[in-house]
């Protein structure tokens, strides 16, 4: 799974369908990142076409772990189908959603937002 750092923020970029088969690798990657003290994690959904209940549960666990560690998890770049699934499941009330990566970084860290702006 593609993972990179922008200043003090970690950006995770899963791709394709997040379903029963692909949730475990996402969760294995996501949870350790969110458990770090003051973790700042973005899950970039630009390459994701679908997310199932199991994937949403993994995001919820990530958001919970981040909160417990005084950190924060933000997701961004939902395509229309995935945005619809967030609305239908009411998960936009469970996990913080931002429109794009710039907004997600700005929500978490001014240094990451600045680093992203300046390429």
Partner 1 sequence: MHVRFWGTRGSLPAPLDAAGVRAKLKTVLARARGHALADDAAIESFIDQSLGFAERATFGGNTACVEVDTGADEHLILDLGSGARALGNCIMAGGRPGKRAVYNVLLSHPHWDHIMGLPFFAPAYIPGHRIRIFGGHTDLEHALRRQHAAPNFPVEFDQLGARVEFVALDPARSHRIAGADIGLMRQHHSGDSYGYRITQNGRSLIYSTDSEHKIEAAADAYPFVDFFRGADLVIFDAMYSLAEAYTIKEDWGHSSNLVAVELCHRAGARRLCLFHHDPNADDGAIEALLSDTVKYEALSRDSAAPLEVVAAYDGLELDL
| Given 71, 91, 98, 101, the residue binding partner 1 (CB under 8 A) | 91
Q: How far is the CB of 76 from partner 1 (least distance, A)?
A: 19
Is 68 a residue that touches partner 1 (CB under 8 A)? no
**3-state percent helix, strand, coil for the chain, nearest multiple of 5:** 50, 25, 25
Is 37 a residue that touches partner 1 (CB under 8 A)? no
Tell me the backbone φ, ψ of residue 51, rounded to 5 degrees.
Answer: -135, 135
What's the gap between Cα 107 and its chain centre? 12
- Bridge partners of 57, per DSSP, are none
* CB of 45 closer than 8 Å to CB of 80: no
Which residue, 28 or 38, has its beta carbon nearer to partner 1?
28
Residues at the site binding partner 1, with contacts judged by CB under 8 A: 17, 19-20, 23, 50, 52-54, 56-57, 60, 81, 84-85, 87-91, 93-94
């Amino acid at each position: 799974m593609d993972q990179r750092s922008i200043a003090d923020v970690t950006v995770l970029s899963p791709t394709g369908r997040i379903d029963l088969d692909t949730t475990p690798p996402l969760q294995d990657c996501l949870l350790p990142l969110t458990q770090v003290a003051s973790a700042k994690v973005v899950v970039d959904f630009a390459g994701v076409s679908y997310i199932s209940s199991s994937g949403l549960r993994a995001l919820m666990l990530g958001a919970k772990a981040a909160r417990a560690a005084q950190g924060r998890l933000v997701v961004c770049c939902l395509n229309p189908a995935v945005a619809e699934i967030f609305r239908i499941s009411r998960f936009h009330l469970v996990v913080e959603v931002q429109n794009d990566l710039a907004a997600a970084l700005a929500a978490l860290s001014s240094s990451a937002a600045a680093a992203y702006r300046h390429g």
